[in-house]
Amino acid sequence: MRNKFADKIFELGKKNKNIYLVAADISPAGSIEKFRKKYPSRFINVGVAEQSMIGICAGLAMQKKIAFGYTIAAFALYRPFEMIRDDLCIQNLPVTIVGMGAGTIYNNLGATHMSQEDISIAKSIPNMKIIAPADPIELGMAVNYCAKNKKGPIYLRIGKSGEKNLINYTKKKWNFGKILKVFSGNDIAVISYGPILEKAINIKNRLFKERQVSISIYNCHTLKPIDKTGINKIIKKYKYIFILEDHSCINGLYSDIIELAYKIRAKTKIISYSLKDEFIKSYGDRDIFLQKHGIDENKIYREIKKLI
């Protein structure tokens, strides 16, 4: 996904001289290197100074420029939090903070490099919007939206490398703030977002192959503002809803859906597969790390199979 982001920034930058990329301690590579060489005055690498990254982006936005602040998610959001809150959100400036390798993607480097509570933190700040694309194609659509955004800051939560394209957009339209149905099924729905959506699709394919059972899958790519109307319709339609997210069980998508279900007195059973509220030390394979948090394709498959 970082390569797609770089390609999209270079593509947009060729057409729009107001697009600036402010990076923090990330070596330019691929299309970002092309962007740096072709438009050196519009590429700024602040080094290990994430607070400065946000301040510079704020200044650019005040000059009517389109600023993207880009680094690893844990450092894009946590280290410069005060500047994000004060310089961007209080001023309601249209800056995009790009958190690369979000969630547990950097588990091999430990808790310092993971962002398992980033959505909760970003969601709590007034004026902040949150987008979490599931695949490279969707990321491109999200960057297009961010480049045109004039209405306050956005936290763009993206993967790292090797993510597959998961969604066929030839017959589906991406809209900011609107939950997207990826596959149609019957009594059971899975709602997810970000690259971990691939696990939901794997489970769906396995259920259909082994038991000829179809389930619905929804992509909740916009996490703030949440699509209350769309989610309420889903809650009312299905007997069972599974939430799958690479984020803490506290104040993520599960928390929002549970609150909405309570408000409409829904009888739907909602089951969550989120990260535990703890720092688990596991520096190897990411799937093993997620299993320790209770997020496992085989486990989810068995849980859904019991309900069929």
DSSP state of 249: S
DSSP state of 56: H
Q: Which helix (H) or strand (E) holds 240?
A: strand 240-248
pLDDT of residue 213: 85
Total-model pTM: 0.96
Handedness of CA 66, 71, 73, 75 (dihedral sign): negative
Q: Measure CA 308 to chain center.
A: 30
pLDDT of residue 284: 86
pLDDT of residue 287: 94
Residues 6 or more apart whose CB falls under 8 angstroms from that of 218 comprise 179, 180, 181, 182, 189, 190, 191, 192, 234
Taking Cα atoms as reference points, which of 189, 187, 220, 186 lies closest to residue 203? Answer: 189
Per-residue model confidence as pLDDT tens for the chain (308 residues):
999 999 999 999 999 999 999 999 887 878 899 999 999 999 999 999 999 999 999 999 999 999 999 999 999 999 999 999 999 999 999 999 999 999 999 999 999 999 999 999 999 999 999 999 999 999 999 999 999 999 999 999 999 988 999 998 888 899 999 999 999 998 899 999 999 999 999 999 999 998 888 999 999 999 999 999 999 999 999 999 999 999 999 999 999 999 999 999 999 999 999 999 999 998 889 999 999 999 999 999 999 988 87
Which residue type, as a one-letter code, is found at position 86? Answer: D
- Identify whether the C-beta of residue 44 lies closer than 8 Å to the C-beta of residue 20: yes
Q: Is 265 exposed, middle or buried (0-12, 13-18, 19+ CB in 10 A)?
A: exposed
- Distance CA(296)–CA(299), nearest Å, equals 5
- Distance CA(141)–CA(149), nearest Å, equals 12
Report in angstroms the alpha-carbon separations of 64 from 18, 60, 127, 272. Answer: 8, 7, 18, 42
pLDDT of residue 296: 95
CA angle 80, 46, 162 (to 5 degrees): 80
pLDDT of residue 114: 96
Give me 13's structure tokens. Answer: 């930058």
Report in angstroms the alpha-carbon separations of 291 from 115, 295, 300. Answer: 17, 5, 11
- Identify whether the C-beta of residue 227 lies closer than 8 Å to the C-beta of residue 133: no
Taking Cα atoms as reference points, which of 204, 286, 279 lies closest to residue 248? Answer: 279
- Identify whether the C-beta of residue 217 lies closer than 8 Å to the C-beta of residue 197: yes
